[in-house]
Structure 1
Amino acid sequence: MTSASDAIEPGLAAFEDSLDYVTVTVGGQLLGLPIARVQDVFIATRITPVPLAPSEIVGLINLRGRVVTAICMRRRMGHADAAPGGADKSELTAVGIDQGGEAFALIVDTVGEVMRLSRTTFELVPIHLDRAWAALAKGVHRLDDRLLVVIDVDAVLNIELPVAA
């Protein structure tokens, strides 16, 4: 005779053997943000520029009364900005992240779906991955038709700030 807890355990084992990601694209590349790090997804409409900030920091956003630092993932990953005449620059797709009580918005090209992938398909960062990307990645998952680069959110948020004179 099996108990109710015995019937639940196989499902729990499958859940523990998986990794969940919010997928985004930047410059045509599929990226995975660990779902536990993502607070929300939103459209940033009003960004206030920050003078003398590193180029990756595109400005500040007022999100429901909270000041959020907006980071351009294209710039952070060494891509050129989106081509002129592309998407409307007055609305930018953002993924909200919190770290150490501070709020950040990662500006991405698009947000995709939530993916649950097996831990067994996770691989370390390939040696041939671009150095700038490798510094921001935790690893990869090889999907049927493309590569999902798993982003190290802590590395993305570790931006060298200019030293005050």
Structure 2
Amino acid sequence: MSNLIRRETSHVVAVQEQVGQYLTFLVGTESFAVSILDVKEIIEIANVTRVPLTPDYIHGVINLRGSVVPVIDLSARLSRHCSEVSKRSCIVLVAVETGEGSQLIGMLVDEVREILEIPPANIQPAPDFGTDIRTDFIQAMARVDDVFIILLAISRVLSLDELSLLSDLAQSQEHLVAASD
């Protein structure tokens, strides 16, 4: 029985690698993509509630059908400036695995482009140089029509443990600055 499960699992993985569907979007002027399997929904910018004493990359929270969903400003998370919300800005909802299951998180992006099928032959390992974002955030680089698209490792970019740790650190620094005044 375990051989059957193993064969079915490897078959699913092989099919996923063959399909290679990615949602592409812009952050600033750069093209990024995530596996379509990670995307749960794309929504317009709604009423985002800012949360006091949170780092810049936490844009706020939204109420999605009765659930509170954190929204991460992907530009700020990638160590760039905070996004300016425009008519083309969207929130891409993705599921991130945690120790307790799956957590829905929104990513604020400047523009959603399209869903592309990228063959494995067009996907290359991430370079160790030439990028201004953390290399552990990059899953791979995809070449589409002589343009490179950064495939994000969404579980690392939106790591809840790291986001929580960074938020705690930012709050500690704010308290130190306030105490010294």
Please say whether Structure 1 and Structure 2 have the same fold, judged by a TM-score greater than 0.5: yes
Post-superposition CA distance 1:83-125 (Å, at most 9, x none): 6xx725xx84110012233221000000011111111111111
Where does residue 7 of structure 1 map in the other structure?
Answer: none
CA distance in 2, matches of 1:95, 1:136: 17
Q: Spell out structure 1 runs of 4+ moving beyond 3 A.
A: 13-16
Where does residue 98 of structure 1 map in the other structure?
Answer: 95
Q: Which runs of 5+ in 2 are unaligned?
A: 1-13, 173-181
Contact 1:45 1:92 (8 Å CA) reproduced: no
User: Which amino acid in 2 is paired with 1:161?
Assistant: S
CA distance in 1, matches of 2:58, 2:155: 15
> Taking structure 1 as reference, are residues 20 and 14 closer, same or farther at Cα in structure 2, changes over 3 Å only?
same
5 Å-filtered alignment, 1:1-165, equals 16-82=17-83, 87=86, 92-99=89-96, 100-158=101-159, 159=163, 160-162=166-168
Q: What TM-score does the superposition give when structure 2 sets the normalisation length?
A: 0.73
Equivalent residue pairs, number: 149
Partner SS, residue 36 of structure 1? coil
Contact 2:118 2:144 (8 Å CA) reproduced: no
Higher relative contact order (CA 8 A, sep 6+): 1
Q: Higher strand share goes to which structure? A: 1
CA distance in 2, matches of 1:29, 1:20: 19
> What is the CA distance between 1:154 and its match in structure 2?
0.7
CA distance in 2, matches of 1:16, 1:122: 11
CA distance in 2, matches of 1:127, 1:101: 30
Q: Which runs of 5+ in 1 are unaligned?
A: 1-12
> What is the CA distance between 1:27 and its match in structure 2?
1.1
Post-superposition CA distance 1:36-85 (Å, at most 9, x none): 100000012211111121221111100111111000011011222346xx
Contact 2:27 2:74 (8 Å CA) reproduced: yes
CA distance in 2, matches of 1:63, 1:161: 23
